[in-house]
Structure 1
Amino acid sequence: MTTTTTDATKRPAAEPVEAVAAAAAASAAEPKRAKTALMHPNVKDGWFRETTAMWPGQAMSLEVDEILHVERSLFQDVLVFKSKTYGNVLVLDGVIQVTERDEMAYQEMIAHVPLNAHPNPRRVLVVGGGDGGVLREVVKHPSVESVTLCEIDEAVPRVSRMYLPTLAAGFDHPKVTVHIGDGFEFLKDKENEFDVIITDSSDPVGPAESLFQDTFFGLLHKALTPNGIICSQGECIWLHLDLISRVLATTRSIFATSSYAYISIPTYPCGTIGFILSSKEANKDFATPLRTLSTEEENQTYRYYNKELHRAVFQVPTFVRKAVEPKNE
């Protein structure tokens, strides 16, 4: 992995052996202080509780074993806790982003559906995705030559490396380059550069708000190669159908083809999350994977994705179909 934000640091001069020994003896003589337990306003009586205006009238709760990390970054509130049943959990601005137990559902599907729908993905961009999970999945594709991740908040990859190592393993692949900065700004000078762009964003509030705007999709279109594909986080069919319909109207005004898919994942709102796929290619069939593995190979490579599921996620309930179908059909 390479990164554009690493600064060199200087080592302090070594201290004399006598001074080090004296300091160690003094430290040993001091009474041991009890570790102060971390606190967070979303954790009360041993339970994390997620409430937000994005899904009014309902809440998501997980029992907390231990609060591991609390900080306020330059952009958002960052919380990591060890849960009783879902492993370590990353929370940004009070909303669950990743749990160790079910993360593979989101990471695998947002990566492998667009990549396997593309005939030959070589250059890939991930906007957001600072936990590293999407990177981990993208580099499984032999055709991929380079993956660039653009994450606005340096705290997310830093904290992920500390507490979510199975996701952060994606950062260590030699094909990966990490850019810490705004995805909107990063894309302004990119043209005909990426075969697949994955927008792994949080909800359209706070740092991710610009990633749902018309101008951002215009930048994505410009940055794609002629048969390129984008895959964006597409919210929840039970809560955000109007938003989904509006975003699809936007992408269809910019791209030749757009489609909607959704998956099951228990710790996201209502247990589902969607994806919006768009391409410059007219009548693009996203639901048919162009490369497949045998069942044995799938069992070795994936925990959630498979070729049958790839096709199935584009089959949506009737009330959703009415909202996401092109209006001229």
Structure 2
Amino acid sequence: MTKKKSQFNFASVLLCACMFASGACGIILEYIQASLASMILGNSFEQWAMVIGLMLFWMGFGSLIQAQISKKYLIYTFIAVETGLALAGGFSPTLTYISYGYTAHYSLVLYFFVSFIGIMIGLEIPVIIRINNDFSKELSTNLGNILSADYLGSLIGSFIFVFIFLRFTPITEAAFITAGANFFLAFITFIYFSKKGLLKKGLIIPVIMVMTFSAVCYGYLNNRQWNIKIEQPLYDDPIILSKTTQYQHIAITHYKPFDEVRLFLNGNLQFCSTDEQRYHEPMVHPVMNLVPIKTRILILGGGDGCVLREVLKYKEVKEVLLVDLDPEITRLAKTHPVLKRINQDVFKDARLVTIAGKGISPGINKRLYIETNKKKYSEKQPETQKLADVKVMNVDADKFLSTVKGFWDVIIIDMPDPSTPELTKLYAKEFYKKVKQHLSQHGLMVVQATSPYLAKESFLCIGRTIESAGLTTLPFHENVPSFGDWGWYLAWHSNIKREKILGKIEHINFNVPTRFITPQVFKSELVFGKNELKTANKQINTILHPTLLSIYNHESWLLE
């Protein structure tokens, strides 16, 4: 009798361990599907809500299904559920990406996997509770042990997803690792209950498990190579770099006949090498020539180095601080040969100092010099010329502005479009008020503001939001062939009269080398067509009411 009791206790511990592991795997699979939906369909707020809501619905459906399962098939059902989760969970990102590249019905494939995985997870908990009922004295003890193991596993799974998978593995690889854990649950359950004689002997289950194990291992070993092949149909030109970081997916394409390089973040074009000057020069040179003093420059975003390249053309610049969240972007801009050629190796010339991390630290301040290659007769070393003090901080721009002290003469905000909640907060009233606090009284800032033609309401909402922060604005736009009609806002403190800025524009002159912009071109950029700056919408974007997120994702890019 004592031996039997010990067996039963071990079985209960095993089932609780299975529930702990399945809870961790279940929450990771939910997060993977939600992340996948956000990357493919955009608008992470909506997609995370939709995916989690659908999964909970189908989990409830799965709980209803288990009521129809006979008691003698419960262990078989658990093994089938874990095997199904291993296959569906492991291959779902890869198959969804394939459907995204080759069909117009990728959302159906995505939500099919969301539904199927939800049903499987919904079956897990009640099935394990019913199995464990034979090994537990009381229902309350059974429920308490199983549910607490599930909830604790979910917490651990969340930590694993956030601190390991997001930082160090592609989403496809994370899926196969999780699938392996699900398979391991099925395997140990099969081994234990087979030894106890609770499973019938036969070849069907072992064969299925061998095939599942082989499939998951094959997928894990090959997923990175698959990623490149799967991703290629999403782009017109050959991919030369594809990398997923903690913050975003980076892709670089290169069309050799035209030597055309394109940088994409999360599938959205950031620049094209053949016309990037039509974007970066209007952003930098007008603001740099309208301010009376330009010794201290702050760049928020712009990790590719193209804005920095233009800023460092001005000898008056003494200090530049570039703040970009993703350290991988600035690392690539500093080391990747294609990006180095486009940004003219600006980070190397500036003797880059990188300060990574979530907080703000004083960092290291270096006097930076660039070789002029002009030798004097009495010297063996090349003559050097002072360039600038340049720092790069890989931190969140909003947190940076909340922590840092000091003022800048020019603030250049070159952020991606407000397509996600994380980006939308960088277009909020609260953010622009922080920018205002760090803009010197004589200073100017410039903000990239999407397309005034293709995203008119978004463009105007950004302008209203900047003005709500107490700044005066001046919109301008330019045709960038890769993007279409693109817009920016100049902004300054209200103590500077608009007439003064307009007067300076009349006599503006660019005394540095440019490839595109001229004083006449900039003056033309200030001209908009009839009613292009008019709208009945008066909303502004705030953190608690991120109206810009909805406007950008639902009202923009739709031509009437």
Q: For 1:247-258, list aligned pairs within 5 A.
A: 247-258=462-473
> 1:42 and 1:214, CA in 2 relative to 1: closer, same or farther beyond 3 A?
farther
Kept after mapping to 2: 8 A contact 1:40/1:70 = no
Q: Please, which runs of 5 or more residues in structure 1 have no aligned partner?
A: 1-35, 49-62
Q: After the TM superposition, which residues 201-280 of structure 1 pair with which residues of structure 2 at under 5 Å, given as runs? A: 201-206=415-420, 207-268=422-483, 271-280=484-493
Q: Report SS of the residue matched to 2:533.
A: helix
- 1:170 corresponding residue in structure 2: 346
Question: How do 1:46-195 residues align onto structure 2 when only pairs under 5 Å count?
Answer: 48=235, 63-64=236-237, 66-83=238-255, 84-85=257-258, 87-161=260-334, 162=336, 163-165=338-340, 166-167=342-343, 169-171=345-347, 172-173=349-350, 174=368, 175=388, 176-195=390-409
1:194/1:265 CA distance change after superposition, 3 Å: same
Bigger mean CA offset, 150-159 vs 127-136: 150-159
Question: Structure 1 residues 312 and 102, CA, compared in 2 at 3 Å: closer, same or farther?
Answer: same
CA contact under 8 A between 1:111 and 1:137: conserved in structure 2? yes
SS at match of 1:105: helix
Aligned counterparts of 1:86 and 1:321: Cα–Cα separation in 2? 37
Q: Higher helix proportion, which one?
A: 2
- Counterparts of 2:229 and 2:447, CA distance in 1: 30
Q: State the 1:42 CA deviation.
A: 4.8
Q: What letter matches 2:528 in structure 1?
A: V
Moved over 4 A (4+): none
Q: 1:291 to 1:192 in 2, by over 3 A?
A: farther
Deviates further, 187-196 or 273-282: 187-196
Matched residue, 1:308: 520
CA distance in 1, matches of 2:283, 2:535: 21
The Cα shift of 1:317 comes to 1.1
Matching residue of 1:292: 509
> What displacement does 1:137 show?
0.4
RMSD: 2.4
Cα gap change, 1:256 to 1:205, in 2 (>3 Å): closer
Cα distance, 1:70–1:318 mapped onto 2, change above 3 Å: same
Alpha-carbon spacing, 1:282–1:40, altered in 2? closer, same or farther (3 Å)? farther
* Number of the residue aligned with 2:496: 282
Question: Taking structure 1 as reference, are residues 40 and 106 closer, same or farther at Cα in structure 2, changes over 3 Å only?
Answer: farther
* 1:79 CA drift (Å): 0.5
Give the counterpart letter for 2:339 in structure 1: L
Q: Aligned pair in 2 of structure 1 residues 128, 240: CA closer, same or farther (>3 Å)? A: same
1:134–1:170: 8 Å Cα contact kept in structure 2?
no
- Counterpart of 1:81 in 2: which secondary structure? strand
The corresponding residue for 1:43 is 232
Offset at 1:254?
A: 2.1
In the alignment, the residues of structure 2 paired with residue 309 and residue 148 of structure 1 have an alpha-carbon distance, to the nearest angstrom, of 28
Question: Could you tell which deviates more after superposition, 150-159 or 123-132?
Answer: 150-159
**Amino acid in the other structure paired with 2:425:** S
TM-score, length of structure 2 as denominator length: 0.45
| 3-state secondary structure, aligned to 1:204 | coil
Deviation of 1:37 (Å): 8.8
Shift of 1:122: 1.2
One-letter identity of the residue aligned with 1:282: I
- CA 254–177 in structure 1, closer or farther in 2 if over 3 Å, else same: same
Name the CA shift for 1:40/1:232 in 2 (closer, same or farther; >3 Å): farther
Distance of 1:283 and 1:42 partners within structure 2: 50
Tell me how far apart the structure 2 counterparts of residues 313 and 201 of structure 1 sit (CA, whole Å). 21
Deviations 1:203-257 (A, max 9, x none): 1134533211111101000011112111011111122221222222221122341
Give the SS at the match of 2:468.
helix
CA distance in 1 between partners of 2:285 and 2:311 (Å): 7
Of residues 387, 393, 414 in structure 2, which corresponds to 1:200? 414
Query: Displacement, 1:168?
Result: 5.7
Return the alpha-carbon distance in structure 2 between the equivalents of residues 264 and 82 of structure 1: 22
Which amino acid counterpart does residue 391 of structure 2 have in structure 1? Answer: T
Deviation, 1:169, is 2.1
- The amino acid that maps onto 1:76 is Q
- Sort the Cα spacing of 1:240 and 1:86 in 2 relative to 1 into closer, same or farther, 3 A: farther
Q: Which range moves more in the overlay, 126-135 or 281-290?
A: 281-290
Instruction: Report the number of matched residues.
Output: 267
